[in-house]
Structure 1
């Protein structure tokens, strides 16, 4: 979340930043103008409240003076004034909460401001290659994609996965299942023993304010899987919605008959609504809503939420191997074959919590940690700087690491490393003490994939495939595979 004081002092800078992120100039300007107007209305109201509170305090003292001097009329007049002020303050505090929420909600959907050195562009075609590591070999005519190899080996089953869960799921078997596990263990061992990250095993379901903290809510709710009923939705509202749905269906099936709520007596409607409401409550048990994590970035970053961290403990570096769950709502028709885009996949996540002076250097370091995974696996890759139009909502700068996939004859993303500044920290209220211990400042947060395990499996299968359909196991993984050197058909 952006600092409203910074916006107030730098409105043109925010307009420019939004335009860089592919907003129209008109939308950007009107959004900033609206934010400033909301902030001014809130500040004016607070000033008026403060004046009234000061007058109430002064009048209370005057009442005492008037009563001591025997001026009963003045005392009564002052009491009446204080009573009116109290009513105004009570209503004014409710209005203050409304203004606070309106400003908060408007700020919550604004993206982060890109750093000055981020290339300006509209989409992935405007990203800039930073470095290329490893040579892309000449592509033989027998090269296959990972799903062709996996199915031929009898170790990758999409048909049975669809029977279990629908599309965008995979059943891995035998040595490919073991290799995916081996990849995750290898990555964790590398990051914890050589890169200084602390391994965490976080919850896989989190509350909505945790999702808000890292920026998934409210903007990207359609990309998430969740359980329970949202807090703002009441069971009785659901019951009424079911009645509305019934009426619409009846109207469709019997277009010549006007269906109205008069078809039910008032008592019948009330009883039926209450009955449905009880069923809804029974089904959901009135439980608080939980979200399945789309990435371990969410729980790892929120480990410092609503806390003040001692400066000497920074940087904090966390890593975790977890399943990730994404609805892929915005990717209809993309990567429908194979394992590239799944609703459920494993990923090793890297998260750093730093002070304000160290975050940019930490960004370079984190990216190199993720690159080292691919170097050890012997996979060709390139690192690109994302342009402003392709960058994530909460990021100030992002490097994507793209691994070479011979089957697709293309580079595909396997890791994304972002520095977010204090954007997430403001949403989480996560701070640290200055070096002198006198003041508190918002931490800076960073996150990156170290790396996506499923995509690493794809890359190994395709880069280490042999003409006979077997897959050679990279040297670094063989200790995790019981010394096995090659995966062949059963």
Structure 2
């Protein structure tokens, strides 16, 4: 959520930032709501002050024997009391209206984010590994079904479209990938492993920006709970409504969890295979830091995610997203795109974003810097470290053999009980 004070001082900058995102200007509407609220607060404060003054004047009128004046003052106090009570209810309504309007405005891109409309305007900043493609290269679902270890028909009987049943060594390979990522991030990258709840309340979804605008992308579970679309939600909200010691930042959290997404708006896209599922596993990275360290932390987090792909020896490229392709809460985002020889193209496997104090403000999560009395809102970052299902796809396609078997990457063999090949 953006700071209304900043918007008052920079209305043109807000509208220019929104234009870069391809969004409509919002400053006029927000400032109108803000002005109505401020004018009402002024009237309410004046009424409260007059009520207090009139209450004191009643005593003086009674002491002087001026009953008529005392009665008029009593009537005025009663009228002001009613106005104040109604005014306080109106204040809550105006507060909620402004807050709801602010909650629907996306974050402001950083100055170095390339301006563009969609994914076609994203900019490649580096490429690692040499992509390979053979005339016998198959897509992951062809490989998995041929091995009898990936079953979409049975998954559809159980749950419908966009679900998969993995079995045998392929199920173990997916589990190995998740464990490998967790071990890497906790032992080499300094993240603290967390096992968070998979059901969160409205406030948690609001805190990271999924609500109120993106409810159709989520799965509701009960009146006040949602299945997590990503572990970013519970991990980031670990610090909600707290004031942290600035000297103990950054806090770095990681978790391996199932994620649940409705995939609203993706009809007809990636309907075959495991690329776009309602349920999938992901290792998430979250950092809670101060204002001065956030940009450097963003580069560090992206490097941590890249290390996963380097150790798996998977070709990939790192893209900086243009302004029109970034997520709602991001100020800048790097996407890692892994090479899939079965599709003969790169596909996103990780997204690392720096959000500024956008989520910190929504969560009321703050930190107190050394020597400062006034706390500031924390700055937050999140990234996939990485998507486990997509890593499985990438391993299957990049390590496939012409005979339909899959070689197990060296770094995963300890997690696979020494197995070197799947199938055959």
- Shorter-chain TM-score range: over 0.9
Q: State the SS of the aligned residue for 2:291.
A: coil
Instruction: List 4+ stretches of structure 1 deviating above 6 A.
Output: none
* Equivalent of 2:142 in 142, 148, 160: 148
* Equivalent of 1:126 in 121, 127, 135: 121
Cross-structure match for 2:221: 227
Cα offset, 1:70, TM superposition: 2.2
Distance 2:248 2:324 in 1: 35
1:25-64 superposed matches below 5 A: 27-28=24-25, 31-64=26-59
Distance 2:3 2:63 in 1: 50
Cross-structure match for 2:80: 85
Q: Does 1:296 align with 2:291?
A: no
Q: State the SS of the aligned residue for 1:359.
A: helix
Q: Does 1:71 align with 2:66?
A: yes
Distance 1:209 1:388 in 2: 27
Q: State the SS of the aligned residue for 2:257.
A: strand
Cross-structure match for 2:177: 183
Q: Unpaired segments of 5 or more residues in structure 2?
A: none
Cα offset, 1:61, TM superposition: 1.2
Cross-structure match for 1:343: 278
Q: State the SS of the aligned residue for 1:357.
A: helix
Cross-structure match for 2:2: 2
Q: State the SS of the aligned residue for 2:125.
A: strand
Cα offset, 1:116, TM superposition: 0.4
* Equivalent of 2:408 in 426, 448, 473: 473
Q: State the SS of the aligned residue for 1:358.
A: helix
Please give the root-mean-square deviation of Cα atoms over the aligned residues, in Å: 0.8
Q: State the SS of the aligned residue for 1:402.
A: strand
Distance 1:90 1:304 in 2: 35
Distance 2:156 2:358 in 1: 39
Alignment: residue pair count: 424
1:374-385 superposed matches below 5 A: 374-385=309-320
Cα offset, 1:167, TM superposition: 0.7
- Contact 2:231–2:255 (Cα < 8 Å) also in 1: yes
TM-score, structure 2 as length reference: 0.99
The C-alpha deviation readout for 1:168-187, integer Å capped at 9, x for no partner, is: 10000100000000000000
Distance 1:70 1:433 in 2: 57
Cross-structure match for 1:366: 301
Cross-structure match for 2:162: 168
The C-alpha deviation readout for 1:275-314, integer Å capped at 9, x for no partner, is: xxxxxxxxxxxxx431000000000000011111111221
Cα offset, 1:69, TM superposition: 2.2
TM-score, structure 1 as length reference: 0.86
Q: Does 1:404 align with 2:339?
A: yes
Cross-structure match for 1:247: none
Q: State the SS of the aligned residue for 1:341.
A: coil
Larger Rg: 1
Q: State the SS of the aligned residue for 2:322.
A: coil
* Equivalent of 2:206 in 188, 197, 212: 212
Cα offset, 1:426, TM superposition: 1.0
Distance 1:294 1:37 in 2: 34
The C-alpha deviation readout for 1:20-39, integer Å capped at 9, x for no partner, is: 0012xxx41xx321111110
Distance 2:160 2:47 in 1: 62
Distance 2:221 2:341 in 1: 39
Q: State the SS of the aligned residue for 1:188.
A: helix
- Contact 2:247–2:369 (Cα < 8 Å) also in 1: no
Cα offset, 1:75, TM superposition: 1.5
Distance 2:190 2:139 in 1: 35
Q: Does 1:193 align with 2:187?
A: yes
1:438-457 superposed matches below 5 A: 438-457=373-392
Cα offset, 1:437, TM superposition: 4.3
Distance 1:113 1:328 in 2: 25
Cross-structure match for 2:417: 482
* Equivalent of 1:104 in 73, 91, 99: 99
Q: Unpaired segments of 5 or more residues in structure 1?
A: 229-287
